[in-house]
Amino acid sequence: MAAVRVRMSMSHMIHGPHPPEREIAPATSAVRPAIDRSEIPQAETCSGDRSLTGHTHPHIADDRAAIDTARVPIVSTSMALPSDNHVHSEWSWDAQSGSMERSCAQAIRIGLPSIAFTEHVDHTVWTASVEGLATVPADHPVALLADPTGQVTPPAFDSTGYFLAIEHCREKFPGMRILSGLELGEPHWHEDAVRNVLSRGKFDRVLGSLHCLPDRGRFQEPNDLITHRDPHEVMRTYLLEIAHLVTQSDSFGVLAHIDYPVRSWPAHLGPFDPAVFEDEFRHALRATSQAGKALEINTVVPLHDSIARWWHEEGGEAVSFGSDAHEPLAVARGFSNVAAMAEACGFRPDRDPLELWHRV
């Protein structure tokens, strides 16, 4: 049965200009054709983002789900925790349990060097399945926003209120470095709208993400797509679109959750094996590296160590750590293990704890 889940940044690699779009070296084996670009509507027809379906939807269960870290190698536990560069608060439209103040308090309690509030900015209207909507609490933002056909249009980002809250927390927690930020959904499809939001203030951490794909004249998230499309095809199509995202938008510095569809991987297919998609992952990672962006190690479902290793092999310069927390207790979840994994894959912390980790 379909269910709805909550979706869940190289220091200041944000607004600096990127080199012109470069040709990406092809993958070592055939890669499926890119999605039909004609399915992507013009910006004026899109104004939101966040989907329902499949199993547990990317917007509801992530912060309550157990984290499987058994496969993450532990090579060192002496290092301090890295900064959490991907946290949502009440200023993200889908973070019902979010709290900027309580997240700051949690960051202090566990000893983080800094915390970045990267709130959702979405401009893609997407469609949730009727079955998925039926499993969502009536007071959940997705349920409240969906029209009778399941179309969801996320609300506009309140940048004024957000910056006031950031300043309030900086005054209340003077010992904690609190960074401003955004998570831009599909920014390569909404250049003008994204530019408008970025012009409203200084954002210290800007993430770019892909939450949905075109499907039969609409947009859906992976957990809905896999109900009527082959999950393997959805994963491959997603990774191909990641390459478009990183090469076509210079509005962000860090690619968030490259493995987003894994959150909805069907249990009956067994554990997700990234090796099945190695060519596609490498293609997307190569494009990300050539675009001068950093890769996020997201811990909703901890990034597989193979993907982190491929990132290093494809020339990736830096990694950022993100819990994708939508509630305070999820801040920096699983960071000890993934920090050790990143170290094992060839990345090390900077002398400045606020900086991203760079390759060695």
pLDDT in tens, 225-271: 999 999 999 999 999 999 999 999 999 999 999 999 999 999 999 99
Euclidean distance between CA atoms 348 and 359, whole angstroms:
6
179-201 average pLDDT score: 98
174-193 average pLDDT score: 98
| Proportion of the chain above pLDDT 70, given as a percent | 78
Using 50, 70 and 90 to split pLDDT, how confident is the model at 194? very high
Pick from 90, 157, 155, 57: nearest CA to 328: 90
Q: What is the pLDDT of residue 79?
A: 66
Q: What is the pLDDT of residue 58?
A: 52
CA distances from 5 to 55, 177, 253, 333 (A): 8, 30, 26, 18
Tell me how crowded residue 173 is: count the other CB atoms within 10 A of its CB: 17
pLDDT tens across 26-43, in order? 444 333 334 444 444 433
pLDDT tens across 75-133, in order? 344 568 999 999 999 999 999 999 999 999 999 999 999 999 999 999 999 999 988 88
CA distances from 35 to 38, 44, 233, 243, 244 (A): 9, 21, 11, 12, 10
Q: Provide DSSP, 261-313.
A: GGGG--GGG-S--GGGGHHHHHHHHHHHHHTT-EEEEETTTTPPHHHHHHHHH
Euclidean distance between CA atoms 256 and 185, whole angstroms:
10
| Proportion of the chain above pLDDT 90, given as a percent | 74
CA distances from 10 to 83, 294, 324, 356 (A): 11, 6, 17, 5
For the chain, how far is it from start to end, CA to CA, in angstroms?
45
Euclidean distance between CA atoms 1 and 56, whole angstroms:
9
Handedness of CA 157, 159, 161, 165 (dihedral sign): positive
Name 359's bridge partners: 347
114: left (phi over 0), alpha (psi -120 to 50) or beta: beta
Q: What is the pLDDT of residue 132?
A: 82
Q: Could you give the residue ranges of the DSSP H alpha helices within the chain?
A: 100-110, 130-134, 141-145, 159-172, 191-198, 222-225, 231-248, 278-290, 305-313, 335-344
What CATH number belongs to 59-359? 3.20.20.140
CA distances from 347 to 6, 114, 297, 308, 358 (A): 30, 19, 12, 9, 5
CB 43 within 8 A of CB 194: no
280: left (phi over 0), alpha (psi -120 to 50) or beta: alpha
Q: Are strands 126-127 and 114-121 parallel, antiparallel or unpaired?
A: unpaired
Give me 179's structure tokens: 């960074």
Angle between helical axes of 305-313 and 278-290 (0-180°, round to 10)? 50
**Phi, psi (deg, nearest 5) at residue 83:** -65, 150
Euclidean distance between CA atoms 8 and 92, whole angstroms:
10
Q: What is the pLDDT of residue 6?
A: 38
Euclidean distance between CA atoms 295 and 315, whole angstroms:
11
Euclidean distance between CA atoms 135 and 138, whole angstroms:
9
